[in-house]
Amino acid sequence: MDLSPLVVRRSPEEQTNLEALFVDIFEHRFRFNEVIGFRAESFAAEAAGLSFDMRPELIGSYLHSRLHGGVIATALDTVAGFALAAAVAEKYSHEPAEQIVARFGRFGTIDLRVDYLRQGIGRSFHARAKVVRLGGRIASVQMELKNDADQLIATGTGSYILS
């Protein structure tokens, strides 16, 4: 797995532990993420990324074999959470991995806006997010979802509570 690392300010062992926890949490512990098949691609706080492959279970329109709109919204919301986790890990780089992970339990979506720009057609999809503002209690994130042909499928913006 070739993941862009978080900015390293903790020990190499602690960084490795944190990245392994990120993968475990976002790919497996959030069971719905596991059902969709999300894979962590980038830990970079300014461009966190997740990907997933198209499967029959994710089809929203059987006539056109396109991705369900709910899966698109979930991908955008999830990659935003992933970006926030990376940004918080960077902001609190003096804290051990377990303490950073404990902060994730207090995250929540306040508002999510999705703009569906194209049909969700492709073999795989890649979601990216950028934290626009990371406050003490509220954060703002911009997201996008592209297919394997690099076509922009949807964009999103979200507000999140951090505590």
Q: Which domains does the chain have, with CATH numbers?
A: 12-161 (3.10.129.10)
Residue 138: what pLDDT? 97
Alpha-carbon span 20 to 39, nearest angstrom: 12
Residue 154: what pLDDT? 98
Alpha-carbon span 82 to 75, nearest angstrom: 10
pLDDT tens digit at each of 163 positions of the chain: 555 554 547 788 887 888 888 889 889 989 999 999 999 998 877 889 999 999 999 999 888 889 999 999 999 999 999 999 999 988 988 888 888 888 888 899 999 999 999 999 999 999 999 999 999 999 999 999 999 999 999 999 999 999 8
Q: Report the candidate in 27, 28, 65, 30 with the shortest Cα–Cα distance to residue 49.
A: 27
Question: pTM of the prediction?
Answer: 0.90
Residue 160: what pLDDT? 97
Q: Report the candidate in 160, 64, 154 with the shortest Cα–Cα distance to residue 103.
A: 160
Residue 3: what pLDDT? 58
Q: Provide the CA 77 distance to its chain's centre, in angstroms.
A: 7
Instruction: Report residue 116: phi and psi, to 5°.
Output: -85, 115
Cα dihedral value 77, 83, 88, 94, nearest 10: 150
User: Under a CB-based contact definition with an 8 Å cutoff, are residues 67 and 60 in contact?
Assistant: yes
Alpha-carbon span 32 to 13, nearest angstrom: 29
Residue 8: what pLDDT? 47
Alpha-carbon span 64 to 61, nearest angstrom: 6
User: Under a CB-based contact definition with an 8 Å cutoff, are residues 84 and 141 in contact?
Assistant: yes
